[in-house]
Structure 1
Amino acid sequence: MNFIETKLEGCFIIEPKIIQDERGYFMESFNENTFAKTIGNKVHFVQDNQSYSLKGVLRGLHYQTGKHAQAKLVRVLQGEVLDVAVDIRPESETYGQYESVLLSAENQKQFFVPRGFAHGFIVLSETATFFYKCDNFYNKESEGGLIYNDSSLNIDWQFPLENCIISEKDQVLPELKNAKKVW
């Protein structure tokens, strides 16, 4: 696996080594030892989640606060999405900045989003199956979120926002300046 450090401290794009032959392919999608050595700390994943979405579905930007904060390792099993992480750690030099990466079944890239980041994605293909591992259990009372079109973040979703399919819940999330603090 090739770990590519992003401009946001702790966020990594992970490119697997894919072995292909006439039967198909094989790849290692996660190795705890390699992950811990490269990321710099051990992340113990406790929950896997999967979603299926149509083209233009924008999910996010979500996070968990306090002791329920979550790190996520995300990937696409089918289709293509633009995945986005926003640094919401108040003490960080990159607070309020985002990183985006194109994840697809074809490129098999993964994105590691540590605790202290809001996360979301938009489906660019006709459909997409999105899979992610979390290092903490979901807790409804600890939910936080940012509005997808916060002008202070200026996220380029690479899709016309007027054509997005967004849940009612995600349409009323606050801007970063008014959001629930992550810690």
Structure 2
Amino acid sequence: MKVEETYLKGCFVIMPKVFKDDRGYFLETFNEQVFSKETGIKTHFVQDNLSKSSKGVLRGLHFQEGEAAQAKLVQVIKGRVLDVCVDLRKDSLTFGKHFSITLDGLNKVQLYVPRGFAHGFIVLEDNTIFSYKCDNFYDKNSESGIIFNDKTLNIDWNFPEEKIIVSEKDKTLETFENLFR
């Protein structure tokens, strides 16, 4: 496994070792001991989630507040997404900055998104299957989010905005300015 920290402290790109042969492939998607050694982070995941989406679906930018905050280890099982996380830690030097990476089912790259970040992704291929581990349980009363086309964050989703498919709930999310300034 190769691990690289992004310019957002505590946010890591993880490239697992994939063993391929004529039967297919095998990889270890998570090993708590190796993860802790490589990142310096002790974590315990308690919930796994999976979504299947069509091309153009944008999910996010979501986060949970307070004691219900979640760290996530995200990956694409099949298909391809542009994955984005935003640093919401007010005491961070990168507060309000975002990181994006293309994740796909071929390269098996993962992204570790720490607590205190918003997270979202746009699907770039039909029938994409997206998986993520969470270190805290989902709590509806603590959920929040930032509108995907927020002018302050100015995220380039690399997709025509008029073709983006967003849930009714995500269309009404707050702006970064309203939540954090």
Q: Same fold (TM over 0.5)?
A: yes
Shift of 1:168: 0.7
How far apart, in 2, do the equivalents of 1:166 and 1:180 lie? 23
Is 2:40 aligned against 1:61?
A: no
Which residue of 1 is the match for residue 80 of structure 2?
80
Percent identity, aligned pairs only, is 58
The CA deviation string for residues 38-66 of structure 1, in whole angstroms up to 9 with x for no partner, is: 22121100000000000000000000000
Aligned residues: 181
Normalising to structure 1: TM-score of the pair? 0.96
Look up the equivalent residue of 2:16 and give its one-letter code.
P
The CA deviation string for residues 133-182 of structure 1, in whole angstroms up to 9 with x for no partner, is: 0000000110110010111111010111110000011011111121279x
Matched ranges for 1:1-183 at <5 A: 1-179=1-179
Contact 1:19 1:26 in 2 (8 A): yes
The CA deviation string for residues 90-142 of structure 1, in whole angstroms up to 9 with x for no partner, is: 11100010001111001100000000000000000122000000000000110
The CA deviation string for residues 15-53 of structure 1, in whole angstroms up to 9 with x for no partner, is: 111111111111111110011112212110000000000
Q: Secondary structure at the match of 2:67?
A: helix
Shift of 1:87: 0.3
Shift of 1:4: 1.2
Contact 1:145 1:180 in 2 (8 A): no
Contact 1:82 1:100 in 2 (8 A): yes
How far apart, in 1, do the equivalents of 2:146 and 2:175 lie? 5
Superposed CA RMSD in Å reads: 1.1
Q: Secondary structure at the match of 1:136?
A: coil
| Unaligned residue ranges in structure 2 (runs of 5+) | none
